Chain A
Amino acid sequence: MKSTAYVDGIPYVLNEGETILSLLKRNFGKDAVPTLCDAPNLKPFGSCRVCSVDVALTENGPVKTVASCHTPITPGTYIYPNSDRVQKLRKNIVELVLTDHPLDCLTCEVNGNCELQDVAARVGIRNVRYPAGKNHGQVEKDLSHPYMTTDFSKCINCFRCVRACDEVQGQFVLSMAGRGFDAHIIKGNDVSFNDSDCVSCGACSQACPVAAISDVYESKSTAFDEKVRTVCTYCGVGCNLDVAVSTGTIKSIQAPYDADVNQGHTCLKGRFAFKFYNHKDRLRKPLIRKGEEFVEATWEEAYDFIAEKLTKIKSENGPDFIAAVSSARGTNEENYLVQKFMRAVIGTNNVDSCARVCHSPTALGMQKTFGTGAATNSVVDLKYTNCIMVIGANPTSGHPVTGAKLKQFAISGKPSIVIDPRKTELARYATYHLQLRPGTNVALLNMMLYYIISEGLEAKDFIKSRTEGYEDFKQQILQQNIDELERITDVDRNLVRKAAIAYASANNAMSFHGLGVTEHSQGTHTVMLIADLAMITGNIGRRGVGVNPLRGQNNVQGAADMGCQPHQGAGYLDVTNPQYHSKYELFYNAKLPNYVGYKIPQMYDAALSGKLKAMWVIGEDMAQTDPNTHHVVKALKSLELFVVQELFMTETAKLAHVVLPACSFLEKDGTFTNGERRIQRVNKVVEPLEGTKSDGQIMVEIMKRMGLLHLEYHPSWVLDEVAKIVPFFEGVTWEGLGKNGKQWPVDKNGKGAEILHINEFKHGKGKFIHNNWKESEELVQNGKEFPYIITTNRTLEHYNCGAMTRRTPNVDIITEDVLLIHPDDAAKHLINNGDMVCVTSARGKVDVKAQISDEVKQGVLSSTFHFPEIMLNNITSSFSDSEALCPEYKVVAVNIRKSKGQYKNAVVG
């Protein structure tokens, strides 16, 4: 029988170990008792005492006053949440708090949205009995930061910001200094927000119950007509955002506490970097190239131009002379329509998406081993795991909300392994940091597998019952030459052994990986070895385990799910398989090719050799972000028709024949699928900027123009169509997704799945696949002449080509790309911090500002390509993953010398 406790004499059933406040909130709503220091995403703290209640052991017996937020409820006790005594106590406490709080509510930013104001009104404060005394009214405001602001004269010392910084983000910027009445919040070592280590996640501002910490958008208090819940457009975490809109303009963004994905947290990109949406640079009219110039056109003219050209090329050269690159930033529905357009209307499989340049090896590698190319588990599993392994990922920058959770895990002291050539933020907290030479993931994972087998730590039962190919695999692993691998990876074998033992001996171990795994010539091989590691240790099919790729873009999972890949259609069905081929033909009522189309790198080669004449690119700036810029630009320039659908005039759009002004995620409906397979609803916040259209709308209209009629574009019917063809979307409906979405596979009853491969793998048994390490061709060919290795990375503040983030105040935080260089290397070339360095490779050269850092080892450099001023991809190579053709951004042979900056702004093309 469940135990009970009495509230005002009436019995209520208790949940195991819950606090009094939790019981009261559960039964009487979130305003059951007033609170100040309590916040939904923070641990109980018990400092404000406003939530005090009376508790007695017998009915109407002698009472004791306790803080309900942190006091566990004792079965059988009698709780009086609003006794006269308690009410008087609350009133007096709030009165005390008000003695050191300015009483100028009417001029305060958060007037009407202030928790203190609400609580004061609620406990019935009419006046304050205390005389005027010393207070903190004179504390100066801090307006130094592009986003964060403070006005500590309003601080009520509830510690919510400090706790948010510690418990949610794990940045430890805010702390309390001084004691007693003198206690006050400081940033860093008592510096301004701008000079502190703040990562601008805004958790403190959202947590602050008053206006002591706020932001430039005054998110807490914005007057709004409506708040629209949608999903962030940046990374694959898929944070839910509450966007406040007033008279058709976006005012601010907050993170909803009831979001399963982000629980009230998000990063500076999600929370603050939205101003790009109505930036003056937004494209507002279709543009058609006339010679060197773009001329504004109507949509009709643009469609006519495109349709005519496409029809001509199709009839003259055949459908395979046309290709499209869809966008993993677009919605599922839009991606679905793009591939439908290419397959059913044009009649080619030449459709790919930017998943190609990030996680295509993940999809392929995991399909080969597990049968499904998606994360096996969910981020919530971090609560259940005992060991994490993060390979080739810098989640605190790339996936900040999941990164913060991983960081909290590492800080907690539980075993954490980071495999990365850079000393990333997470690596600094990790138990084991295996700082390998770029391009040696396969070698290192083989070492780990060797130690797991030689130490006898394999999960024998799991291997026997759930997998195949193990004996072969084992033989190959045991043949590895550890001396050789140790030399290749440049990681101490004892450290590798310890890490392997930690991973293998944890009850539940969870691996995460990012582009540092995939963007290599052996990307797919590495993914398969990660899968092997999970299988050999039995870490599959339950809570707290699995292989979890940190997907790059918000909808990179969805773009592949929807079939924007040349070898698989919607739902990952092989286009060459006769059964699936006829299924698609029947479904689309069209003749489809039964052979694989071009992958993105192949498109460039085809264009250069005249086998591709038209390309349609949606929201991808390949000229800035695809490797080997010269090669890319040359290929794009050789096209007869190059259509670009964009928000801004990017480096790629500049090369187009037709530029179509698309609209951003804030201006459309649809669904995104995040890295944990969660299909979430994107809801239109504002109407599209005048003159722009959503990608889905454009697709429907062009299809109509070319003969395939559809209803007026709305994601709901597209989603219904998707549900009919994509098996794991079977039970997905627009209405059924609700607030927090569903994780696929969604069965016909609409039930999602947090964990995959529980009883068996998608294709029956898990397959052990082994691969030996092989030096990157780039290093084999160019390593002698170019002795340094540059590995590319991303910053927290900017997103990929930066087209969006560079048009927000994020650009005031990170203003340029820099070259990370080891102090010894810098000294060898007489390079000082801030000097321009000329980086040359077999492809070209760029000038980048040096930042001397211990983040990289000697011989290794690192930089970003967020800024077109640098165009780092001028030097990256065309080498790519042997299986999935994902470009090798992470290993580029270069040389360096101090420069005077004369090669800055190397002209594109």
Chain B
Amino acid sequence: MKLLLENAHIEGIRYYEIYRKHGGYRAAEKALKMAPDEIVEEVKKSGLRGRGGAGFPAGMKWSFLAKPEGVPRHLVCNADESEPGTFKDRYLMEFLPHLLIEGLLISSFALGSNLTFIYIRGEYAWIVDVLEQAIAEAKTNGWLGKNIQGTGFDCEIHVQRGAGAYICGEETALLESLEGKRGNPRIKPPFPAVQGLWLRPTVVNNVETLAAVVPIMNIGGEAYSKIGVGRSTGTKLISACGNINKPGVYEIEMNLSVEEFIYSDEYCSGIPKGKKLKACIPGGSSVPIVPANLLFKTAKGETRYMNYESLSDGGFATGTMMGSGGFIVLDEDQCVVRHTMTLARFYNHESCGQCSPCREGTGWMYKILKNIEYGKGKMSDIDLLWDIQGKIEGNTICPLGDAAAWPVAAAIRHFRDEFEWHVTHPEEAQTRNYGLAHYAEPLSTVTV
């Protein structure tokens, strides 16, 4: 079932007239007749969880919003999609801008935000135009601006481009940046719901989360909560990439098995040239890498599904995370050390430099990984690497520290032999790959 991308293929859906013709703004019509608190209740009922990566229940986040007398509140849409491997928000904004605007309108109304922001990744320059166009159309048609649809509710949406920093996807760094400051995360508490943008109560939600409010309004929270499985309700956008035949953005119900997602024709259509699956990072670059043998089945031998609970089954020892849905597949030819080094380079470059463990630690992880990859490593480096990641994780102001530590930790945890092989075979490591880990599950059981 598709709730978000159902109409994505319709030509011109980017424009107001076509979007409206296909049922657009019907959810807004409905919502504007409700009391704001009823909308919050509806979202709570739906069980919608934050689609940015953390998976925090959206309705609960909304209910934390402080409402002191006389202080304006803000909704900020986090469109600073920068996690390597994740491009679902870009797709959604590019093809269905009005879906986001409608979601923003409903959410702004529910939260009482008269001034709402879309903080968009700087590199998504062309999407800014798409969004601005959609906002102008929505305004012309009375869905934004003063006295929206005669309800007396005013709402303006501003699009703000980021300046190319991954850290600004972290909600408090995003707020700092939006205020015009250097994008350094803030300490919490106070949480944004109490003191956010310009110290006013603020809700920061991901693009997909806010877009999902539209189908929730359309079909009702109750019905939405029935889709999916357990606490993983509704549909999720997955951006699939890496060694697969059909990379792209897919909307899935969260009771789909990982195996089916990789091998079925409806989704990724398997691995090119019939190569074997080596590992997968299912939720964007910062979630732990999982070797093939732990990907389709959990450590307990149960089928692994594309949902929050199942992907994290087994904790970090044998599981991973749903994350932002950036699904990266690695085939047998990929070198885990090199791959980890690439990610470490990214996090080293993107660390804001505020917290000592992350500022210095990300640098050293990259340096050490580079040494190992290029045949200059020592066995003790692997332990040092393990030590550093452990000192970063949980010891920084924002989760970027964790995001930098997890990939390294998981790579060592599952592929230690490959690291050791790099140390013991410095020459060979330059010319050929280690190949499959001895425990990798080589073939799919799904009949394609």
Kindly list chain A residues whose C-beta atoms are within 8 Å of the C-beta of B354. Answer: 47, 157, 159, 183
Q: Are B397 and A46 in contact (CB under 8 A)?
A: yes
Binds A, one of B89-97, B215-223, B383-391, B436-444: B383-391
Binds B, one of A92-100, A314-322, A832-840: A92-100
Q: Are B359 and A181 in contact (CB under 8 A)?
A: yes
Query: Chain A 172-200 against B: per-residue CB contact (8 Å), 1 yes, 0 no?
Result: 00011011111100000000000000000
Query: Chain A 12-56 against B: per-residue CB contact (8 Å), 1 yes, 0 no?
Result: 000000000000000000000000100000001111111010000
Q: Does A72 contact B (CB under 8 A)?
A: yes
Q: Are A72 and B391 in contact (CB under 8 A)?
A: no
Residue of A nearest to B383 (CB): A129
Binds A, one of B104-112, B251-259, B361-369: B361-369
Query: Chain B 330-374 against A: per-residue CB contact (8 Å), 1 yes, 0 no?
Result: 000000000000000000111111111101111110010000000
Name B352's contact: one of A45, A67, A183 (CB within 8 Å).
A183
Q: Are B355 and A47 in contact (CB under 8 A)?
A: yes
Q: Nearest Cβ in chain B — how far from A631, in angstroms?
A: 54
Kindly list chain A residues whose C-beta atoms are within 8 Å of the C-beta of B360. Answer: 96-97, 99-100, 181
Also in contact, A179 and B187, with CB within 8 A (given A47-B397, A49-B356, A93-B391): no
Residue of B nearest to A92 (CB): B391
Also in contact, A179 and B395, with CB within 8 A (given A72-B189, A100-B360, A130-B364): no
Q: Does B303 contact A (CB under 8 A)?
A: no
Kindly list chain B residues whose C-beta atoms are within 8 Å of the C-beta of A96. Answer: 356-357, 360-361, 364, 388, 391
Q: Are A181 and B387 in contact (CB under 8 A)?
A: no
Number of cross-chain contacts by CB at 8 Å: 96
Count B interface residues, CB 8 Å. Answer: 31
Q: Are B361 and A49 in contact (CB under 8 A)?
A: no
Q: How far is the CA of A49 from the CA of B401 in the complex (A)?
A: 12
Q: Nearest Cβ in chain A — how far from B329, in angstroms?
A: 29
Q: Are B353 and A176 in contact (CB under 8 A)?
A: yes
Residue of B nearest to A89 (CB): B391
Q: Are A180 and B189 in contact (CB under 8 A)?
A: no
Q: How far is the CA of A72 from the CA of B367 in the complex (A)?
A: 36
Residue of A nearest to B364 (CB): A130
Q: How far is the CA of A64 from the CA of B353 in the complex (A)?
A: 23
Q: Does B394 contact A (CB under 8 A)?
A: yes
A137-190 interface with B by 8 A CB criterion: 156-159, 175-176, 178-183
Kindly list chain A residues whose C-beta atoms are within 8 Å of the C-beta of B356. Answer: 36, 47-50, 93, 96-97, 156-158
Interface residue tally of chain A, by bracket?
A: 35 or more
Name A70's contact: one of B187, B351, B396 (CB within 8 Å).
B187
Mostly, the A contact residues are loop
Kindly list chain A residues whose C-beta atoms are within 8 Å of the C-beta of B189. Answer: 72
Q: How far is the CA of A666 from the CA of B136 in the complex (A)?
A: 69
Name A179's contact: one of B167, B361, B384, B387 (CB within 8 Å).
B167
Q: Does B425 contact A (CB under 8 A)?
A: no
Q: Does A65 contact B (CB under 8 A)?
A: yes
Q: Are B391 and A181 in contact (CB under 8 A)?
A: no
Q: Are B367 and A179 in contact (CB under 8 A)?
A: no
Q: Are A180 and B362 in contact (CB under 8 A)?
A: yes
Q: How far is the CA of A50 from the CA of B384 in the complex (A)?
A: 19
Residue of B nearest to A178 (CB): B353
Also in contact, A179 and B353, with CB within 8 A (given A46-B187, A89-B395, A92-B391): yes
Q: Are B348 and A49 in contact (CB under 8 A)?
A: no
Q: Are A181 and B395 in contact (CB under 8 A)?
A: no
Q: Does B226 contact A (CB under 8 A)?
A: no
Q: Are A176 and B357 in contact (CB under 8 A)?
A: no
Q: How far is the CA of A45 from the CA of B187 in the complex (A)?
A: 7
Q: Does A133 contact B (CB under 8 A)?
A: yes
A866-884 interface with B by 8 A CB criterion: none
Query: Chain A 720-734 against B: per-residue CB contact (8 Å), 1 yes, 0 no?
Result: 000000000000000
Q: Does B182 contact A (CB under 8 A)?
A: yes
Kindly list chain A residues whose C-beta atoms are within 8 Å of the C-beta of B352. Answer: 179-180, 183
A84-125 interface with B by 8 A CB criterion: 89, 92-93, 96-97, 99-100
Kindly list chain A residues whose C-beta atoms are within 8 Å of the C-beta of B391. Answer: 89, 92-93, 96
Q: Nearest Cβ in chain A — how far from B376, in angstroms?
A: 10
The interface of chain B, by Cβ under 8 A from chain A, is: 165, 167, 182, 184, 187, 189, 348-357, 359-364, 367, 384, 387-388, 391, 394-397
Q: Mind listing 9 A-B residue pairs with CB under 8 Å?
A: A48-B355, A48-B356, A96-B361, A157-B353, A179-B350, A180-B352, A181-B360, A181-B363, A182-B353
